[in-house]
Amino acid sequence: MAGPYQPLTQIKKGCKAIVHHFTGGQALSNRLLILGFTKGAEVAVQQNPGFGPVIVLIRNSRIALGRGEARKVLVEEVNSE
């Protein structure tokens, strides 16, 4: 089984995760970095119905990512207390 990192698409609504790295091309990762998806940044999943785009709260902004894009963001889930 892969390490503790999973694609953002697997994090359920209401859960939080920490950004670790990206797969895929530079075009996407550059845009994500500029929007604050740096290593260690916390994202809170607002919406993830299992298909279609994902909405996350990051640095107090709501950002929607297409499913393909969200799949390329590898994160580590944070267990809430």
Q: Please say whether the beta carbons of 11 and 71 come within 8 A.
A: no
Q: Rg (Cα) of the chain, in Å, rounded?
A: 11
**How many other C-beta atoms can be found within 10 angstroms of the C-beta atom of residue 49?**
9
Name the residue nearer to other proteins (CB basis): 4 or 52.
52
Name the residue nearer to other proteins (CB basis): 32 or 75.
32
The 3-state DSSP class for residue 19 equals strand
Name the residue nearer to other proteins (CB basis): 4 or 31.
31
Q: Residues with Cβ < 8 Å from 51, sequence gap 6 or more?
A: 67
Kindly state the smallest distance separating residue 4's Cβ from other proteins, in Å.
20
Kindly state the smallest distance separating residue 18's Cβ from other proteins, in Å.
13
Please report, as ranges, the residues that interact with other proteins according to CB under 8 A.
26-36, 38-41, 46-47, 49, 51-53, 55, 58-66, 68-69
